[in-house]
Amino acid sequence: MTSPLRHLTEAGLLGKFYIDGEWRKPIGSVAAAATVVNPATEQPIAEVTLGDDDDVDCAILAARRAFAGWSMTPPAERAALLDRVHGLVLQRLDLFAQILTYEMGAAITYSRGAQVPLAAEHIRVARDNLANYSFVTARGSTAIMREAVGVCGLITPWNWPLYQITAKVGSALAAGCTVVLKPSELSPLSALLFAELMDDAGCPPGVFNLVNGTGPIVGAALASHPQVDMISITGSTRAGVLVAQAAAPTVKRVAQELGGKSPNIILPDADFGRAVPLGVAAAFRNLGQSCSAPTRMLVPRSHMKEVEALAAEAASELVVGDPLAESTTHGPVANRPQFERVQTMIGVGLEEGAKLVIGGRGRPGDLRTGFYARPTIFSNVRPDMRIAQEEIFGPVLAIIPYDTVDDAIAIANDTVYGLGAHVQGTDMETVRKVARQIQSGQVHLNHPEWDPNAPFGGYKRSGNGREYGREGMEEYLETKAVLGFYR
């Protein structure tokens, strides 16, 4: 199989944008480029051209021209396109897996086993939703119509590049919207491969467009543009605030999936031998670079020593190293700024007096190059410590003791975030009761399987709106009431 990097280079896609069904060179007056760095080697692997306001305007106008026709296509026609896209994602799974490993460091086994197949699931769910969704329903003599919002700007992050693209694109296209995608400039290569896939799937011109660029330039241009009807961003809370501020003068819809500091409450009757190792695995999934990662483990104070031992054993079994090696479970942190953030926050935990159970600052083992971080667990963490309040976005777990279940619930809710949460226990009545009291958009009970139909989004500063499943598509729909329609 041809190397994805070689493919992108030989096809000339690194210097182009996908607009109106064509690969086009930038037309903007500000020439700029972003260097993509392999986090495992710290070496440049590609350079992509970045756009500006003129390129964004060109893409938005193409999406606007295409909207009238695409929004009126029968749902079966939109489903047929998504079906082709779904098939091509699976057909090119290894190609996407390789490029994800190169651009953001996910272990190749994780890219193959999670990053790409879970991304494909978002397209499948969007396709399947169209089979039975009622875009027009009767309420007495009134017709309640659900219609596409319009042209949507989609801003996606570097930590789950393809996964977040498909979550947004699948739902938006299923609803009948047209889109302009701005992927992260730190991991733009998988987005270029996806744009090529959309073209190969026969996407009508203007329905899907891609412009690479930075948040302050391309992201801001999308958010403020009067011809964009909706912005959907996945990113930091800081980035979400900036997008919302830029969008406010045009009163467009803004959907935000932002930061998190998710709690994992292990109740006194839990099976600790199962709950703790699974909790460590969940916290360190994607090397902790997930906004919903349960990086606060809340445990009964009387079980602290047992939990520390179980957690340390689980963390010691992780294999951090060359992400292309089949034996590796966890690769490097995705980029230098994030690596430095993780090192800083580990230092903060030590300075605050938390007990270091395993890990610490620096690279693991004999690794000298690459953004590799040591899986780190702190214990005896107070709820007011920075490592318990701030999103670290790396392999750092805080174990926090509690005295009563009510205390655990209060600690769980004591952050500005509310994206995800976990509860473990054997008495399901209690488990469900605790889940109902947690302020978060999603709660996992006893580590269930991932459900691509479960809506995902946040309370508080974790954002607003929902992605995935039926609710994910409905974010891209307006509601129209037509009175007297059924008389």
**pLDDT tens per residue across span 448-483:** 999 999 999 999 999 999 999 999 999 999 999 999
Hey, is 306 helix, strand or coil? Answer: helix
pLDDT at 136 > cutoff 70? yes
Q: Could you tell me the pLDDT band of residue 3, with boundaries at 50, 70 and 90?
A: confident
**pLDDT-wise least confident of 265-269, 338-342, 363-367, 424-428:** 363-367
Cβ-based neighbours of 134, under 8 Å, separated by 6 or more? none
Question: Which tokens hold the place of 166?
Answer: 């498909």
Residue limits of CATH 3.40.605.10 in the chain: 4-258+463-482
Domain 263-451 = CATH 3.40.309.10? yes
Q: Which residue has the higher pLDDT, 282 or 29?
A: 282
Q: CB of 45 within 8 A of CB of 71?
A: no
Residues assigned a catalytic role:
257, 291
Does the reported pTM lie above 0.95? Answer: yes
* Percent of the chain at pLDDT exceeding 70: 99
Q: CB of 135 within 8 A of CB of 147?
A: yes
Cβ-based neighbours of 353, under 8 Å, separated by 6 or more? none
Write down the pLDDT at residue 164: 98
Phi and psi angles of residue 333, each rounded to the nearest 5 degrees, phi first:
-65, 150
**pLDDT-wise least confident of 10-14, 37-41, 136-140, 379-383:** 10-14
Q: Could you tell me the pLDDT band of residue 428, with boundaries at 50, 70 and 90?
A: very high
Question: What's the gap between Cα 135 and its chain centre?
Answer: 28
Question: What's the gap between Cα 233 and its chain centre?
Answer: 9
Give the CA distances from residue 272 to residues 265, 305, 308, in Å, rounded to whole numbers and listed in that order.
Answer: 11, 12, 11
Q: What is the pLDDT of residues 86-125, one digit of tens each?
A: 999 999 999 999 999 999 999 999 999 999 999 999 999 9
pLDDT at 30 > cutoff 90? no
Write down the pLDDT at residue 28: 76
Residue 140 neighbours by CB distance under 10 Å: 10
Q: Which of 114, 431, 249 is nearest to 104 (CA)?
A: 114
Q: Could you tell me the pLDDT band of residue 24, with boundaries at 50, 70 and 90?
A: very high
| Mean residue pLDDT across the chain | 97
Q: CB of 371 within 8 A of CB of 394?
A: no
With vertex at residue 456, the alpha carbon angle to CA 240 and CA 246, rounded to the nearest 5 degrees, is 15
CA atoms within 13 A on the CB side of 341: 17
pLDDT at 40 > cutoff 70? yes
Query: What is the CATH architecture of 4-258+463-482?
Result: 3-Layer(aba) Sandwich (3.40)
Question: Which tokens hold the place of 276?
Answer: 């703790």
DSSP string, 393-411: -SSEEEEEEESSHHHHHHH
Rounded CA-CA distance 402/406 in Å is 9
Residue limits of CATH 3.40.309.10 in the chain: 263-451
pLDDT at 1 > cutoff 70? no
Q: Could you tell me the pLDDT band of residue 332, with boundaries at 50, 70 and 90?
A: very high
